Structure 1
């Protein structure tokens, strides 16, 4: 017999497989595409006309920069100007990224220069088994330059701490210089002696002009060789890359009863996965879009951890432009000009009738630091998603949104919790306020509770994966019904 507990563990197991395969935002989007394609979604492109392509009753997705993604299903009863139910999340996490010129060496060690991305708990990156993954551009035989995703599946880097004997204050005050003492060690310099510098021979012998210094001068030759091997191309085909360090220890169940998930990047891959899975689950029945008057949509953005100010961030035109194109969708084979004109007139109607759930992880109460939490707002793991509220609009939740979410949660009996930060503490923020101001759309902020946010190893609740997936699925299924019951101007 299938039990509620076994269903929750199945969702959590699928999520673990997803996060272990997704060390970078590029991998998140690539694995999301695989899930969507398997669920019958069709890929479309921003640069193409959607006239006569996007139809009622069908499911689609598109990407930008390979690190942001939007997917949606169009209701068969959709008419121009109707609303869109949206779940927004982000694909990035605090990390260390390989510098454009990363070649370092000191005291006989080979090192790799890294740059801080986002607001990480950087001391947690010490003494971890690290590797690299990311996007590599390679030259094809026809002269085109194409991206490949790589993931080197073994530890090749490490940032060692200083021995306690040389720093007796380390246990009371661990401090380090982020520029000079956060260099990962990649190997010993003597191991390079008498070895063929393949990358140098492959690049320096080329006679053509190079605007930048050759790759072997910018990066460790053995690192270049490892990247080329992971990409399955000769070193000479490498042109550039964007690499992110990740912890090679797999994400896993934890706790005496597997009640926890021990992992990196829970913030925010858990909510991104739940958004994807919630949309897919809401559309799994063949007739799911029959009688549906709305569009069901997820938007997963890069660069939230650094403020979302980019072409593929939440503050970009990515979501507004997609909403604008969809708002005038007739479902007929109208020409592009007619569709564009319709979109311009219906966009404002669609925006005000729509609703956005901004899904970003939340803080679970920490038993050793309970005093840091507001006394009446201490979220617990495995007790359901946390609705985040802030009077200063660091979160966009208000009472109409809260009531709407409470109503859709009833359909699948999903528990929820409330959170506000203490008045004497600072408050984080999310993509919610940014998108609310861009679109003028009603918005609510929520997320699953976790511990050790922004650490290289975080802790979440294994049952909360299913809680969020069920909540999002219910939201998509019942939004068009529930929205009409809650009056707001």
Structure 2
């Protein structure tokens, strides 16, 4: 491994800062772009001609998906690409286009549930608001910018148990009626548009004529933290899957510049990946084809390439161990998890699993396996989507996690840095 590899403590502190800086996919991509640019990566525009000499580059789409890559010294068709994939989105509450609800003297904002969120944990949390706003400036030009309230401006209050005596036995959540977010006790002139304009003003955007559209979501204002008696755990929102985005980013930044390497972080995985910037869209294939240059070079390069899809895995919960197959219960802080499913909900096969195990062995890192119970449905990742779209040999792995899709998730403080070491070795072609 290189001499520049981060220590576990340094890595975890940088991870916590990354999580706090990335309340939405837009902010995640902005933060990744900043770090790539500072490391010397050149930003490309999809609409421009590319002249790709050996070097380091990145390109974004929709401000919410990113592909970063290194062009190595040898022809790519002779070596193929080493690729890592993750996703930038997480389940959340997204603000509706016309969200204002004024009732009993309160202003609430109506929301849609994005992805398969655990809804009960969203109650009684201090919520910030962040995302992208499109507006017309005072010169009549269309503009867009990212906003972040930077403070808690909303809450979804629970109904007191005195008014719902069965709450601890069976409280269901109706997303339409139970989840509108309480914002204010406004005067008659206050509105959602006024709120957005105020947030824009606070961030120095003063030339706003009309707010035309937005993609905003609420997020937990409690910051990422190391917790546990000996700081064994990382607690944060959006560990699924910003954890993998950060691990892949740091591994790529450390990588050998002479090797052909790729990191792709797609939006919209939590809702099926079917978008122009999702894994079912053409973004990754388009970038790879432009790097390869010719159809023959593309085909030859793909046949020599390997993909690791990194997305969190279900750690075995001590209170609910019966939800796991007894032989496949990953433990936090015991290493990355190879995810297997015979129905191809994960893309791992014996070749890709063996290579990963060998890499972990050489680096002295432990590895675990996850298979869903045979009587339960299995989730999926961008792994099978990417494998089937471009024909690349793929492995699905992840860091074991508790409370996946909750507003606050939990992972082991050793596992992220362990996977960082392994993916660094993958990019450096140690196996």
Same fold (TM over 0.5): yes
In the alignment, is residue 54 of structure 1 matched against residue 27 of structure 2?
no
Distance, in Å, in 1 between the alignment partners of 2:343 and 2:304 is 24
**Which residue is 1:277 aligned to?**
250
**Which residue is 1:138 aligned to?**
135
Task: State the shift of 1:181 in Å.
Answer: 1.4
Q: Which runs of 5+ in 2 are unaligned?
A: 1-5
After superposition, the Cα gap between the structure-2 partners of 1:35 and 1:411, relative to the gap in structure 1 and judged at 3 Å, is farther
**Which residue is 1:27 aligned to?**
27
**Which residue is 2:236 aligned to?**
263
In the alignment, is residue 299 of structure 1 matched against residue 264 of structure 2?
yes
**Which residue is 1:122 aligned to?**
119
Q: Which runs of 5+ in 1 are unaligned?
A: 1-5, 198-215, 329-342, 483-489
CA contact 1:103–1:220 (8 Å) conserved in 2:
no
In the alignment, is residue 98 of structure 1 matched against residue 95 of structure 2?
yes
In the alignment, is residue 442 of structure 1 matched against residue 407 of structure 2?
no
Paired residue total? 427
CA contact 2:76–2:301 (8 Å) conserved in 1:
no
After superposition, the Cα gap between the structure-2 partners of 1:231 and 1:360, relative to the gap in structure 1 and judged at 3 Å, is farther
Q: 3-state SS of the aligned residue for 1:134?
A: strand
Residue among 396, 402, 410 paired with 2:353: 402
Distance, in Å, in 2 between the alignment partners of 1:157 and 1:106 is 15
CA contact 1:148–1:231 (8 Å) conserved in 2:
no
Task: State the shift of 1:467 in Å.
Answer: 0.9
CA contact 1:379–1:386 (8 Å) conserved in 2:
yes
| TM-score scaled by length of structure 2 | 0.95
Deviations along 1:103-153, whole A, 9 cap, x unmatched? 111122111011110000011111111110011223345543222111101
Deviations along 1:290-316, whole A, 9 cap, x unmatched? xx4xx1001000000000000000000
Rg larger in structure: 1
Deviations along 1:317-346, whole A, 9 cap, x unmatched? 001111111123xxxxxxxxxxxxxx2222
**Which residue is 2:322 aligned to?**
371
After superposition, the Cα gap between the structure-2 partners of 1:10 and 1:371, relative to the gap in structure 1 and judged at 3 Å, is same
In the alignment, is residue 158 of structure 1 matched against residue 131 of structure 2?
no
Greater alpha carbon shift after TM alignment, 452-461 vs 172-181: 172-181
Deviations along 1:168-213, whole A, 9 cap, x unmatched? 100111112111111111112xx415xx65xxxxxxxxxxxxxxxx
